[in-house]
Structure 1
Amino acid sequence: MEVPIAVALAQSVPRLPDGPGWWFEPKFDGHRLVMIRDADTVRLQARSGRIVTSQWMDLAVAGMKLRPGTILDGEAVIWRSGRLDFAAVQARAASSVDRARALAEQHPASYAVWDVLAHPVLGDVRARRYTARRELLLDLLADVGPPIQPVPATDDRETALVWYETLQTQGIEGIVAKRGDGTYRRGRHWYKIRHAETVEASVVGYTGAAAQPRALAVRLPDGRTAMSQRLTSVLSTAAAAYLITAGPGPRGHTDDGTPYTSSTTDLTVEVLAGTTRHAVVTVTRLR
């Protein structure tokens, strides 16, 4: 399987789909990772395609328990005081190698797995239906144990709604719905409902230096280009890794005339849906 691997994504919907053939999973609040178990090592790929093994070395070490030839898709999460801590995940993802090692000792990560893309015996299994891949996943992880564990899944919509209503206090941010007969392919073929009202926006530029951007210019789902509010230090550091790699482009302007340095990158961010009116954008996380 060629790396980087294009991952499947979910689109936001106002309610869970109904009818036969749907499966539901809790949506964990973490950092998307593809775990690639090679013959001699483990590589971890972010949603963007970047290799981020050094930031999640504790999970890479745990992944050595997998059989060579296994490729998994899931979420790196960090539990603190009985709930998911996304701020800790962001800090780890934006850390240097030494800092990531120190953070891992304080707050080890877990890997919540929802899919298997390659099987050590069967090879590429993305063309198989979700229910078949789910069986393969449970079998592969049966003897692996924490911190690598499969996410819960159910084909009962009422159970999924109970999860949605009761698991928010633990940091579960919503529910993802998938067709039981669906294959794994790139693009937005899954559905999600979330407690937080956010939308995804593509980053098209920045203000300040690429190594420490003050704000991001983003293209919103309705096609408008807007400037975000000032980034937190954690978000600025995380975005810098993408912007430095892409390099600066020509000067651009948002719809209201604010100038920015353009950047050709595949970086996507989540912004609060309520702040996108009048082109005011608050970035909550990098995707």
Structure 2
Amino acid sequence: MLRRPVTPMLATPVDAVPEGPDLVHQPKWDGWRCIAFREADGVYLQSRAGRNLTTYFPDITRAIRTLPAGVVLDGELIVWQRGRTNFALLQRRITAGRGLLRLVHDCPAHYVLFDLLTDAGGEVIVDRPLSERQARLEQLLVDAPPQLTVTPETTDMRQVADWLLNWTVAAGIEGVVTKRLSGRYEMGKRGWWKSRTRLVTEAIVGGVTGSIHNPVTVLLGRFDRRGRLRYTGRTHPLTSAQREQLAGMLSLLHPQQHRLAAAVHPWPEPLPASWSGQLEGPEPLRYVQVEPTVVAEIDADVAFEHGRWRHRVRYARARPDMSVYDVPLLLGEEEGYFGVP
């Protein structure tokens, strides 16, 4: 029998979706990876990093209790809102405290499953091909509660293209995960491939780490509907050429502007650790505030919550031809963005 914690199988990032006769493609859901153990005396939910998530998802543990003892499942915990995944509502499970049961009632979770590690009775099947594990998983869930569902999959690249073009907007998937139908489940190994959906867009430079003369990373913002500059994310480290180009365009806030900072540049310094959007937050971030007059072109994925990109974005170049008022509004507030009317 498999004993917890289990190190899940992982995926290697790639720029394009692989193609081949032995490959199958699945949506990459915007949620929390979870290994579920249906034990003789209950259910245990384990995060990718080995953290115990059981107490935060009583709705999911209740559903898994309907399955045979000994089963170990691999999948993604998600929360739907208005037909789209909402990562922020998922995070609230951790901080809800006494309000957890109300949150569970108002915003129930789902467990989207894509692998079966042990079958009923604790039979370990990680060495069986993926095609067999999936067939057993589908059979296992025939009469399962609706919170437990098998992820869609396809071998048709036209279907993959539709997912990447439309499902990122309509359902909130992050991209596609590709697997070998003949492959075994290799714990801790990067034997799958993941291709994220990415957007080329713009944001306003509101600060930098390093110095104004040698910026290392860029802190980005966008206006909300009230005209307030809101923090939206941080870039990966800049190249030497990007640092040199951007440094010549940045200006510090003038002393007389600081009294208007709450209206002009309302971000705290240091930046709160909670703004990073990570489950295990880093320390508060020291940075240099700059006049929010420079527009940056960026390459970002589609995972965001609280109006911020959850992962770091790629800085492409400055856009001196654009006004800050040409930049799209805060994530989720611009018309038609990610299905928001």
Q: Is 1:115–1:133's contact at 8 Å kept on the other side of the alignment?
A: yes
Change (3 A) 1:172 1:11: same
Secondary structure of residue in 1 paired with 2:57: helix
Identity %: 31
Retained in 2: the 8 A contact 1:54–1:97? Answer: no
* Aligned match for 2:311, one of 253, 271, 276: 271
Q: How far apart in 2 are the matches of 1:43 and 1:55?
A: 11
How far apart are the structure 1 equivalents of 2:16 and 2:271? 30
1:211-226 alignment, distance < 5 Å: none
2:320 aligns to what? none
Matched residue, 1:256: none
TM-fit CA distance, 1:232: 2.8
Q: Secondary structure at the match of 2:99?
A: helix
Deviations 1:57-113 (A, max 9, x none): 110111111111111000110011111111111222x32553332311210001000
Structure 1 position 119 matched with structure 2 position 161: no
Alignment of 1:1-287 (within 5 A): 1-92=2-93, 94-121=94-121, 123-169=123-169, 170-185=171-186, 186-196=188-198, 230-232=272-274, 235=277, 238-239=279-280, 271-274=311-314
Amino acid at match of 1:55: Y
The 3-state SS of whatever aligns with 1:232 is helix
CA contact (8 A) 1:45 1:52 kept: yes
What is the rounded CA distance, in whole Å, between the counterparts of 1:190 and 1:105 in structure 2? 35
Could you list the runs of 5+ residues in structure 1 that have no partner in the other structure? 198-218, 221-227, 244-269, 278-287
Provide the rounded CA distance (Å) in 1 between the counterparts of 2:7 and 2:83.
32
Q: Measure how far apart 1:145 and its partner are.
A: 3.2
Q: In 1, distance between residues paired with 2:61 and 2:82?
A: 24
| Structure 2 SS opposite 1:69 | coil
CA radius of gyration, larger in: 2
CA contact (8 A) 1:91 1:234 kept: no
Query: CA 1:89/1:275 → structure 2, altered by over 3 Å: closer, same or farther?
Result: farther
> 2:276 & 2:15 partners in 1: Cα distance?
30
Given that 1:116 and 1:136 are in contact with CA atoms closer than 8 Å, whether structure 2 keeps it comes out as yes
CA distance in 1, matches of 2:160, 2:39: 35
Quick one: distance in 2 between partners of 1:275 and 1:89?
28
Alpha-carbon distance in structure 2 between the residues aligned to 1:118 and 1:276: 45
Q: Which residue matches 1:259?
A: none
Q: How many angstroms does 1:54 deviate by? A: 0.6
Question: What SS class does the counterpart of residue 271 from structure 1 fall into?
Answer: coil
Q: Which moved more, 1:97-106 or 1:135-144?
A: 97-106
Q: Distance in 2 between matches of 1:64 and 1:97?
A: 23
Aligned residues: 223
Q: Structure 1 residues 128, 88: CA separation in 2 closer, same or farther (over 3 Å shift)?
A: same
1:239 partner SS: coil
Q: Distance in 1 between matches of 2:106 and 2:9?
A: 32
Contact 1:55 1:95 in 2 (8 A): no
| Alpha-carbon separation, structure 1, partners of 2:17 and 2:128 | 24
| SS, match of residue 66 in structure 1 | coil
What is the CA distance between 1:196 and its match in structure 2? 3.9
Q: CA deviation at 1:51?
A: 1.3
Deviation for aligned residue 1:38 = 0.6
Letter of the 1:33 counterpart: C
- Which one-letter code corresponds to 2:46 in the other structure? Q
Is the CA contact 1:58–1:108 (under 8 Å) kept in the aligned structure 2? yes
Q: Whole-Å Cα distance in 2 between the matches of residues 121 and 108 of structure 1?
A: 29
- Kindly state the Cα deviation for residue 172 of structure 1 after the two structures are TM-superposed: 1.2
Which stretch of structure 1 is more off in the superposition, 99-108 or 128-137? 99-108
Task: Supply the distance in 2 between the matched residues of 1:271 and 1:172 (Cα, whole angstroms).
Answer: 14
Aligned mates of 1:147, 1:177 — CA distance in 2: 24
What TM-score, normalized by structure 1, do the two folds share?
0.71
